Structure 1
Amino acid sequence: MCVAVCETHKELYKELDQFIEKVKDKPGILIAVLHKAQEIFGWLPQEVQEYIAEKLGVPVSEVYGVVTFYNFFATKPKGKNQIKICLGTACYVKGADRVMEHFLEELGVQAEEVTPDGLFSVHPVRCLGACSMAPVVLVGEKDFYGKVTPDMVSKIIAAYRRGGRNE
């Protein structure tokens, strides 16, 4: 296992150990431990997956299988502000592809990449369940923007550079 990562994130691993200690005797705890690890680290790098496998006494392949099966687990870092752009049919027809292009251009990243400052990552999604407001963008877990146009992208990004939604 990677000693450098463990040393760099000693406190994070300590927090994860404390959680594992609390739940280790319960059956079927792998998913709960993975959720906690992602909450602590922000994502699930290979080193963290190996650490969890070792602590729970399960094969790394089992941990990896669960991580890659469920789409709510991240194997790549994500920005502090995750920008999800719906590319479902209703949103796509109303120009979500152009909105996505503007976010990527303005932030200077590819889809799923994190900006160098760690503030943003842009993620295409299939549906956000708000078709009547198409095209739709979700920043974080609760800030919905409807009927988004490419011209609105700069203003949305600027709000989060200042620390949050500002309307």
Structure 2
Amino acid sequence: MACDCEKNLESKFSTNQVDLSLMDNVFDRYHKENGNLISILQDAQGVYGYLPLDVLKLIADKTGNKRAKVYGVATFYSQFRLNPVGKYIILQCQGTACHVNGSEAVGNAICDELGISPGETSSDGMFSLEDVACLGCCSLAPVIMINGEAYGNLTPDGARRIIKDIYAKEKEEAV
């Protein structure tokens, strides 16, 4: 039985049921090699798109690590996601240049348009929104990045239009 501190930590992870057999190839690749925890976590995230709780428990069991260590590594590094993310990941710059040029209003428009807050995924699974310290595109402030593509000199209406255009493109491709 998990202690209260383990239950509290586990509450941060998605509890979606997943096919654990998808991890067989990952474990075969790192068979009994010590020091591969981060590589195994990266590969697991590549398989599922995030790190489901059941997968973390399986990794702990298969590698002989304590769950606390596996959870600790997964929560320490920002590259690891604990919950499913949308098809489009919006990174919103919170740097000084973006802040003074209106990123707060842009962020509010994105949140309103998608019905989410930073750190969340839209109910349709299309978009995830993350605040980041800096995107390194200060001359384009305020700026967001969606799946690696920068959109700069944004206004609230411009940000809404980008989201609507992506939805329209998705709808068109579905036909």
Counterpart mapping for 1:41-80 below 5 A: 41-80=48-87
Among candidates 147, 151, 165, match of residue 159 of structure 1: 165
2:156 aligns with 150
Aligned-pair CA distance for 1:154: 2.0
Q: Which runs of 5+ in 1 are unaligned?
A: none
Q: Which runs of 5+ in 2 are unaligned?
A: 1-14
Residue-pair matches, total = 157
**CA–CA distance in 2 between the matches of 1:27 and 1:52?**
13
**CA–CA distance in 2 between the matches of 1:90 and 1:16?**
43
C-alpha RMSD over aligned residues: 2.0
Residue 117 of structure 1 aligns with an amino acid whose one-letter code is D
1:17 equivalent to 2:17? Answer: no
Contact 1:43 1:75 in 2 (8 A): yes
Counterpart mapping for 1:23-34 below 5 A: 23-34=30-41
- Find the residue that maps to 1:43 and give its secondary structure: coil
Aligned-pair CA distance for 1:70: 0.5
2:113 aligns with 106
Contact 2:18 2:52 in 1 (8 A): no
**CA–CA distance in 2 between the matches of 1:97 and 1:24?**
48
**CA–CA distance in 2 between the matches of 1:76 and 1:144?**
24
Which segment is superposed worse, 94-103 or 146-155? 146-155
Give me the identity figure in percent: 38
Contact 2:32 2:63 in 1 (8 A): no
**CA–CA distance in 1 between the matches of 2:18 and 2:70?**
20
Aligned-pair CA distance for 1:111: 1.6
Residue 85 of structure 2 aligns with an amino acid whose one-letter code is K
Which segment is superposed worse, 119-128 or 14-23? 14-23
Counterpart mapping for 1:122-161 below 5 A: 122-140=129-147, 142-161=148-167
Contact 2:142 2:154 in 1 (8 A): yes
Contact 2:26 2:44 in 1 (8 A): no
- Find the residue that maps to 2:86 and give its secondary structure: coil
Residue 68 of structure 1 aligns with an amino acid whose one-letter code is T
- Find the residue that maps to 1:163 and give its secondary structure: helix
Aligned-pair CA distance for 1:39: 1.4
1:93 aligns with 100
**CA–CA distance in 2 between the matches of 1:134 and 1:89?**
9
TM-score (norm 1): 0.86
